[in-house]
Amino acid sequence: MTKMRRTYALSIFPLLYLTLLTAVPEQAFGRDRSAEVPQYASAERYGGGWACDRGYREANGACIAVKVPANAYATDVSYGPGWECNWGYQEVDETCVAIEVPPNAYLTASGIGRWTCERGYRPVGEACVSIEVPVNGYLTGDSYGTGWKCDRGYRENKAACIAVKVPANGYLTDTSNGSGWKCDRGYRADKNTCVAIKVPANGYLTDADYGAGWKCERGYREASGACVALKIPENAHLDYSGNDWECNEPYRKRQGKCARL
């Protein structure tokens, strides 16, 4: 019987210990977590620790109030001053001052530090000045250049738009580049006129802006402004261009003929 009592006492001891352990306040073990979280802070949900509430930041284990200037609001970030200026204000010497927007301008979408001139105006220093559009011109949305372009049929000349003089056998092109006109097919520019391209017999027009403006038909070659028939020697054939010849294999060109090596 004595042995049974001793066994019972040993088995019930761990249960009594756990009961006493849970009943003893955490303060008795020096683990009062509520005492670890300072005023104006909240315990982290995961991983232990704590974080200062919005509008406060940690300093030497405590949470002190962030001094938010007028026209600003507190932020949740741990870096920087802990506040940012309201829309339409910018930081100057730890204060928030209103952004001065000149006439004919508006704040950028961010509302921080910059403004943009309205259409028809451009920035000059800290002001927006009107863009002077000449007669026969129109406003563009470009922030660079003059801010305007000439209408079709006109070209820029200093600060004005002058009419493009299109010669006979010519047509208008994009007036922002070049002369503002080009010659019709079969003509090419010669100073301020369009002159006809003279295509020799057995030749045809090309669309290239360079060269003579024409090429010889297949089987002919250019010679002194004319197209002359090719004389193809024995054991030869027209090359890929059609305007010259080359020897058949295994022949090679020698003095205008095809000879074996």
pLDDT tens figures, 169-222: 999 987 666 678 999 999 999 999 999 999 999 999 998 888 899 999 999 999
Picking from 89, 115, 91, 119, the residue whose alpha carbon sits closest to that of residue 102 is 115
The contacts of residue 90 (CB under 8 Å, 6+ apart) are 96, 97, 99, 112, 113
* pLDDT over 60 at 260, yes or no: yes
Q: Residue range 224-228: average pLDDT?
A: 95
Q: Which pLDDT does position 176 carry in this prediction?
A: 61
Lowest mean pLDDT among 20-34, 96-110, 119-133, 214-228: 20-34
Residue 58's DSSP bridge partners are 63
Q: Residue range 113-129: average pLDDT?
A: 90
From residue 192, alpha-carbon distances to 169, 174, 176, 177 in Å are 11, 17, 18, 16
Helix (H, G, I), strand (E, B) or coil at 25: coil
Residue 35: which pLDDT band, with cuts at 50, 70 and 90?
Answer: low
Lowest mean pLDDT among 17-31, 160-174, 234-248: 17-31
Residue 43: which pLDDT band, with cuts at 50, 70 and 90?
Answer: confident
- DSSP run (H or E) holding 162: strand 160-163
* pLDDT over 70 at 18, yes or no: no
Q: Which pLDDT does position 111 carry in this prediction?
A: 67
Q: Which pLDDT does position 23 carry in this prediction?
A: 47
User: How does pLDDT run across 90-105, given as a tens digit for each residue?
Assistant: 889 989 999 999 999 9
Q: Which pLDDT does position 175 carry in this prediction?
A: 66
255 vs 242: CA distance, rounded Å: 20
Q: Residue range 15-44: average pLDDT?
A: 58
134 vs 150: CA distance, rounded Å: 8
Helix (H, G, I), strand (E, B) or coil at 27: helix
69: preceding bond cis by omega (within 30 degrees) = no
